[in-house]
Amino acid sequence: MVRNGRQLSPTRARRWVLALTSLASFMVGLDMLVVTTALNTIRLNLGASIEELEWMVNAYTLTFAVLLMTAAALGERFGRRRLFTAGLGLFTVSSAACALAPGIGWLITARAIQGAGSAMIMPHAMALLSAAFPPERRAKALGVFSGVTGMAILAGPMVGGAVVQGLAWQWIFWLNVPIGLLIIPMVRNRMSESTGTGAALDFGGLVLVTGAALGLVWGLVRGNVAGWESPEVVISLVGGALLATAFVAFEFRVREPMLPMRFFRSRAFSSGNVASFLMYASIFGAAFFFAQFLQTSLHYGPLAAGLRLAPWTVTLSLVAPIAGAQVRRIGERPLIVGGLVLQAAGFGWIALIAKPGLAYPAMIAPLIVAGCGVSMAMPAAQNSVIGAVPPAAIGKASGAFNTLRQLGGTFGVAILAAVFTGTGGVPARR
């Protein structure tokens, strides 16, 4: 990479790539769940219903999930850094729009645009990072990257609570603006452009996968409001499934597919994606309700609720880099399996003890157990997927990985919201 007419050493160039992609990923990851501890405040200030709050969360994940593979394919063709930079710009502008929202409708729309920007950032951050590091160093770099990303996702409730209580809910979005303005010129000056094979765009695949993702995610987020047996939801889910089937069949026949189906013959690729889907379903679903449980049932303020999720959060900064560094020695499978078992054990523990008036110290140990599980499995799953494909296909693999991960997050919120509303719901506001 050349900067100001001078060639940067490979080691220094890789450090810049790791730093900038991790910072961008931190900003995006933070916004996935930063609103959770602000939900109650936003509900009261804007007069939003629980369904509208769910839409505010899912509008972000909807466009994020639907556009991920399309953005990844465009980056492979026109340049990963170019799409990465454009996504940063869109994310920054839409963050300002969220902060300026006068009502819940505006806020939901701006969150949807934020999701589109995130869809342009995340697959290219992961692809640029993976392309910059050789295989023997990639797992360790992905460990740092996933630790930062995971820490941002799980720190979202704590940061949101601190900002809401100390300033105002609008500042959870204003904080993105200076970060975005700082990153964009640095990316252009200190990161090299990267592309895939230069193959022609698979327009048929783009249309089918976008329609499939839209149908599936729309059905999931509308199921709790319209009813799981309503024509809208049934048609959406069935239509999404049919388009997904058509996408798979089309990709088998097209000469230059956007997602070669042969990737799924690899157990490492398939299992890494399945593990990530399930892991993020549980993370997003749990985080959506943990923060509200702490505020509504245990009567903590936004900041206090966020701080009490810290045992879950800090494990990402401590365990994920170590797990990533040990992937080549231990292997992905033990870390993924062991991590998911610990995550399930931690969440199951909380499910057994959760009740109104629960003493918070009883939650600390299971939160740590669940956090350690996530920290072990996350970098291993990423490395499993990326390491299963040739270097030229990293962008396609990253797009598939991030799409399934976001679909998992949306699935988790939708399923737990359905259970929640079916067994009680939020008490009526007085």
Specify whether the CB–CB gap between 139 and 14 falls below 8 A. no
C-alpha separations of 279 from 4, 224, 282, 306 in Å: 43, 22, 5, 21
Cα–Cα nearest to 387, from 272, 232, 288, 276:
272
Q: What would the pLDDT profile of 95-127 be if each residue is shown by its tens digit?
A: 999 888 888 888 888 988 998 898 888 878 877
Residue 327 has pLDDT above 70, yes or no: yes
pLDDT at residue number 45: 74
Q: Strand pairing partners for 2?
A: 7
pLDDT above 90 coverage of the chain, percent: 7
Cα–Cα nearest to 74, from 65, 66, 82:
82
CA–CA gap between residue 121 and residue 24 (Å, rounded): 7
Mean pLDDT of 299-326: 75
CA–CA gap between residue 47 and residue 252 (Å, rounded): 49
Residue 47 has pLDDT above 80, yes or no: no
What is the C-alpha radius of gyration for the chain, rounded to an integer number of angstroms? 21
Instruction: Quickly state the pLDDT bin for 429 (edges 50, 70, 90).
Output: very low
**Start-to-end Cα distance in the chain:** 60
Tokens describing residue 332? 């992905």
pLDDT at residue number 2: 45
C-alpha separations of 191 from 86, 124, 352 in Å: 14, 12, 48
Residue 343 has pLDDT above 70, yes or no: yes
Specify whether the CB–CB gap between 302 and 41 falls below 8 A. yes
Alpha helix ranges (H) inside 293-326? 302-307, 310-325
More confident residue, 248 or 126: 248
The 10 Å CB-count burial string (b at 16+, else e) for 19-43 is ebbbbbbbbbbbbbbbbbbbbbbbb
pLDDT at residue number 259: 75
Instruction: Quickly state the pLDDT bin for 349 (edges 50, 70, 90).
Output: very high
Which domains can be identified in the chain, with CATH numbers?
2-201+258-422 (1.20.1250.20)
Instruction: Quickly state the pLDDT bin for 88 (edges 50, 70, 90).
Output: very high
